[in-house]
């Protein structure tokens, strides 16, 4: 099922913090180190009332410049890098407590590190994989390829059955978003290599010109296709892919799940899509049987796909399908050992992210940490409950407000440790060879496909959201839950018991509050307390919500980044979560401060920083988004990310927040205190 796009900039850390614990002994050295880090990023020549981001982060890029090799830098990227180091340490060391599954994951990693030894064998091995499903015209020669033997539906369905790879369409089993006690089949868009915005419009024109040589190089290197044939083949199938991508899910436009998917019985789907798409035959080939389940289809995407197939020569379609198949096994071989280790780790996350999370959890986590996270979550929930009950949100009808309170009460936070996952079911039958990376990859893909089919009949089956949730927290609509990966349990970057809670709330608290607000944003408010899609807002409250959202649309399009205005986006969910999230975190912090011991209040500062505790909260929030992005890729970032650039994740929310202006004495009419402000919650 399609999830909201989640940028890597949303990475965070969770550490031990007990709201009601006895006062802790503050670590002066750790506090001083953080002070020195924060102070070197400040640009005190900037007026905080004119540009608070540059005031807090103006010198960040001097110390952490983005490059073409590292296009994005920031605190959250640093956290991901440190996490990768921990995983790499686990993979390269022996542990007396490691399980059989751990040992097999490590063996797979060793096989990946030896992939260079397979370079000369790569073409032959990939050709064998392709031959399992038919013939690729560019490989056998167009004059020898038999169009009559090619059936795209059969080839794609059999690839799904064998390896679970998404080609032309994604076929999967997932929770029904209308009734999450049921499972459904889903047929939707394939996983594209690029975001939608790089296929359509002018940017699509540029990409269309630049991409064929790169794809042709892969066809030559990994399949042994002659250069001229490879370039012709790549040019043709990329033209097809671009036409296929025109109906991709558009997050910027605010596409909704309920507007994208249509529910059918198998008989209804069969009748609706015949003769272009024999749904029953596809499902039976992919699954091995016809499950007694209804099916959701992305009708707009399928209609566009049928048209693209109809206007594309079969040989081009076949080349595209078989390239996509081969590409699922291709790994570019880096020149250095360090790059190879990084590449192997990145690729393995796709298949072993659960194993990695569980291995990190077992090695580094503590019960105290988990309890601390849950305590912080309880404090933030209490603050939002107080907001919902206040006259400040009187624009909500009483009925809508009461159900919002019910949904908030039911909302939970889960740390994703996979501690209850039965890794043996998938891993026990596997026999990885330390010298056979491609063979090992075939085995894990096949094992996962078998696992999915074996469990397709389970009711209320646990959703698998992939590796995304291993790197960033996320609100999951159909569960009414915030998922926090154990990757976030790294100390001293964004949270520490040695830091003032003004800092902890400004960073960690803002991120958790951001996710909570997603439960009540444009999409989240269409899901109820148990995670089912239904309308529970009255019409007047709905109109007022949209009116308040329009304020953000007009405000954000006036921001200028890299010499260009930000694009106008109907989907304001991320800006709503940023704006309302920082307000919520601030209120939660003040509630904590007002109810904490006097001794702890005295520690609500960093030595040598001339801020009161309220100002420190806002300064810490600004620090959260200190970053740099490679200049030549900034316009691309603006086009593809539904989050605004980090600078405006500070300027937008704080310029709308009267408490910020009050604490920094910003006069009305200054950039950080405009007369007109936007507010949702």
pLDDT tens digits along 7-23: 332 222 222 233 333 33
Domain count, the chain: 2
Structure tokens at 459: 């009711």
Query: What does the block give as tokens for 421?
Result: 């996952």
Residue 548's pLDDT band (cuts 50, 70, 90): very high
113 and 67 share a domain?
Answer: no
Rg (C-alpha) for the chain, rounded Å, is 26
Region 262-274: mean pLDDT is: 97
**Per-residue pLDDT band at 538 (split at 50, 70, 90):** very high
Residue 343 placed within a domain: no
In-domain check, residue 524: yes
CA angle at residue 491 from 486 to 494, to 5 degrees?
95
User: Residue 263's domain is classified under what CATH number?
Assistant: 1.10.1380.10
Residue 529: inside a domain, yes or no? yes
Whole-angstrom distance, CA of residue 551 vs CA of residue 341: 47
Q: Are strands 474-476 and 564-565 parallel, antiparallel or unpaired?
A: unpaired
Distances in whole angstroms, Cα of residue 608 to Cα of each of 35, 38, 362, 503, 672 = 8, 11, 38, 15, 25
Q: Mind listing the pLDDT tens digit for each residue in 163-177?
A: 999 999 999 999 999
Closest CA to 17 of 505, 623, 602, 593: 505
pLDDT single digits (tens) 350-384: 999 999 999 999 998 877 778 778 888 999 999 99
- The per-residue pLDDT for 205 is 83
Show the tokens assigned to 377.
């979550």
Confidence of residue 459 (pLDDT cuts 50, 70, 90): low
DSSP secondary structure, 445-506, as one string: HHHHHHHHHHTTT-TTPPP--GGGGGTS-EEEGGGTEEEEEGGG---SSS--TTS-HHHHII
Q: With respect to residue 192, please indicate whether it lies within any of the assigned structural domains.
A: yes
Distance (Å, whole) CA 59 – CA 669? 26
Q: Do 477 and 377 share a structural domain?
A: yes
Separation of alpha carbons 145 and 139, rounded Å: 9
Question: How many residues can be counted in the chain?
Answer: 681
Q: Would you place residue 26 in the very low, low, confident or very high pLDDT band (cuts 50, 70, 90)?
A: very low
Q: What is the mean pLDDT of residues 407-416?
A: 96
Same domain, 171 and 307: yes
Residue 290 lies in a domain: yes
Cis peptide, bond prior to residue 275, ω within 30 of zero: yes
The answer to whether residue 273 sits within a structural domain is: yes
Calpha distance 521→571 (Å, rounded): 10
Do 654 and 598 sit in the same domain of this protein? yes
For residues 323 and 388, membership in a common domain is answered with no
Domain shared by 148 and 33, yes or no: no
In a domain, 78, yes or no: no
Burial class for 128, CB neighbours closer than 10 Å (0-12, 13-18, 19+): exposed
Count CA atoms closer than 13 A to 106's CA, side-chain side.
Answer: 16
Q: Given a cut of 80, is residue 581 above it in pLDDT?
A: yes
Distances (CA, A) of 663 to 14, 49, 313, 387, 451: 27, 10, 66, 21, 56
pTM for the full model? 0.91
Same domain for 282 and 184, yes or no, is: yes
Q: Are 411 and 481 in contact (CB under 8 A)?
A: yes
pLDDT digits (tens, 9 = 90+) for 601-618: 988 999 999 999 999 999
Q: What angle do CA 420, 426, 429 make, to 5 degrees?
A: 135
- Domain of residue 122 covers 105-328
Give the Cα separation of 483 and 582 in Å (integer): 19
Higher pLDDT, 457 or 190: 190
Name the nearest CA neighbour of 415 among 12, 1, 135, 57: 12
* 629 and 675 part of one domain: yes
User: What's the whole-number average pLDDT of the chain?
Assistant: 91
Residue range 176-186, pLDDT digits in tens:
999 999 999 99
Question: Which residue from 509, 493, 662 is spatially nearest to 581, judged by alpha carbons?
Answer: 509
Highest mean pLDDT out of 59-73, 247-261, 355-369, 448-462: 59-73
CATH number, domain at 508? 3.40.390.10
In a domain, 440, yes or no: no
Confidence (pLDDT) at 489: 77
Residue 621, token pair as written in the block: 């929030």
pLDDT digits (tens, 9 = 90+) for 123-132: 999 999 999 9
Q: Do 187 and 306 fall into the same domain?
A: yes
Q: Per-residue pLDDT averaged across 428-449, rounded?
A: 96
Residues 399, 291 within the same domain? no
For residues 388 and 404, is the Cβ–Cβ distance under 8 A? Answer: yes
Asked which of 310, 328, 346 is the last residue of a domain, the reply is 328
Structure tokens at 289: 């049987």
% of the chain residues with pLDDT over 70: 96
Distance separating alpha carbons of residues 32 and 608, to the nearest angstrom: 9
563, with CB counted inside 10 A (0-12, 13-18, 19+), is exposed
**Cβ contact 129:329 at 8 Å:** yes
CB 116 within 8 A of CB 47: no
Contacts of 326 (CB under 8 A, 6+ apart): 126, 129, 130, 222, 223
d(CA 2, CA 249): 9
- pLDDT above 70 (res 540): yes
Answer yes or no: do 186 and 299 share one domain.
yes
For residues 630 and 585, state if they share a domain.
yes
Cβ neighbours, 10 Å, residue 149: 9
pLDDT of residue 368: 73
Helix axes 398-410 and 367-389, enclosed angle (nearest 10): 180
d(C-alpha 203, C-alpha 372), whole Å: 46
């040989």: which residue's tokens?
315
Q: Do 280 and 290 touch, CB atoms closer than 8 A?
A: yes
């Amino acid at each position: 099922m399609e999830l909201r796009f989640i940028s890597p900039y949303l990475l965070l850390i969770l550490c031990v913090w007990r709201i009601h614990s006895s006062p802790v002994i503050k670590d002066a050295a750790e506090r001083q180190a953080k002070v020195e880090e924060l102070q070197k990023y400040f640009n005190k020549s900037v007026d905080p009332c004119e540009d608070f981001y540059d005031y807090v982060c103006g010198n960040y890029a001097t110390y952490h410049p983005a490059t073409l090799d590292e296009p994005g830098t920031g605190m959250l990227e640093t956290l991901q890098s440190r996490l990768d180091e921990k995983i790499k340490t686990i993979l390269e060391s022996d542990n007396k407590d490691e399980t059989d599954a751990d040992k097999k994951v490590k063996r797979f990693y060793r096989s990946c590190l030896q992939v260079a030894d397979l370079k000369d064998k790569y073409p032959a091995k990939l050709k064998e994989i392709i031959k399992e499903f038919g013939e690729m015209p560019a490989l056998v020669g167009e004059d020898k390829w038999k169009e009559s033997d090619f059936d795209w539906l059969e080839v794609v369905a059999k690839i799904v059955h064998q390896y679970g790879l998404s080609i032309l369409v994604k076929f999967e089993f997932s929770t029904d978003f209308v009734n999450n006690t049921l499972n459904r089949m889903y047929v939707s868009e394939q996983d594209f290599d690029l975001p939608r915005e790089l296929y359509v419009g002018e940017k699509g024109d540029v990409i269309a010109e630049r991409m064929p040589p790169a794809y042709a190089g892969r066809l030559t290197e990994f399949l042994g296709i002659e250069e001229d044939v490879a370039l012709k083949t790549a040019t043709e199938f990329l033209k097809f892919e671009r036409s296929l991508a025109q109906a991709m899910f558009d997050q910027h436009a605010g596409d909704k799940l309920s507007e994208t998917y249509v529910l059918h019985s198998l008989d209804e789907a069969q009748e609706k899509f015949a003769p272009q798409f024999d749904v029953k035959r596809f499902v039976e080939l992919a699954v091995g049987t016809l499950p007694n389940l209804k099916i959701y289809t992305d009708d707009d995407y399928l209609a566009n796909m049928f048209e693209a197939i109809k206007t594309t020569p079969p040989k081009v379609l076949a080349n595209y399908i078989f390239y996509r198949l081969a590409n699922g096994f291709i790994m570019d071989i880096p020149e250095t050992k360090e790059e190879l280790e990084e590449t192997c780790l990145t690729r393995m996350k796709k298949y072993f992210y659960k194993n990695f999370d569980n291995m990190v959890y077992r090695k580094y986590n503590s019960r105290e940490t988990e309890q601390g996270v849950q305590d912080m979550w309880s404090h933030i929930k209490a603050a939002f409950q107080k907001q919902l009950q206040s006259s400040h949100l009187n624009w909500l009808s009483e009925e809508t407000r009461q159900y919002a309170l019910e949904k908030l009460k039911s909302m939970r936070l889960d740390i994703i440790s996979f501690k209850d996952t039965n890794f043996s079911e998938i891993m026990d039958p596997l026999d990885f060879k330390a010298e056979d990376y491609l063979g090992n990859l075939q085995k894990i893909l096949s094992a996962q496909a078998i696992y999915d089919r074996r469990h397709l009949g389970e009711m209320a089956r646990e959703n698998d959201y992939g590796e995304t949730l291993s790197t960033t927290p996320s609100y999951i609509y159909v569960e009414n839950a915030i998922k926090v990966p154990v990757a976030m349990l790294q100390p001293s970057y964004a949270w520490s018991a040695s830091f003032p809670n003004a800092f902890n709330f400004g960073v960690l608290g803002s991120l958790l509050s951001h996710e909570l607000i997603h439960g009540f944003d444009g999409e989240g408010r269409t899901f109820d307390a148990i995670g089912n899609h239904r309308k529970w807002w009255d019409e007047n409250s709905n109109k007022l919500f949209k009116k308040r959202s329009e304020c953000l649309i007009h405000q954000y399009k006036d921001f200028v980044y890299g010499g260009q205005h930000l694009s106008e986006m109907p989907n304001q969910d991320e800006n709503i979560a940023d704006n309302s999230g920082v307000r919520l975190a601030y209120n939660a912090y003040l509630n904590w401060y007002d109810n904490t011991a006097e001794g702890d209040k005295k520690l609500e500062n960093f030595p040598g920083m001339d801020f009161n505790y309220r100002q420190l909260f806002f300064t810490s929030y600004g620090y959260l988004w200190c970053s740099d992005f490679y200049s030549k890729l900034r316009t691309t970032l603006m086009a593809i990310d539904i989050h605004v650039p980090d600078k405006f994740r500070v300027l937008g929310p704080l310029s709308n927040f009267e408490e910020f202006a009050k604490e920094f004495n910003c006069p009305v009419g200054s950039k950080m205190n405009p007369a007109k402000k936007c507010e949702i919650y």
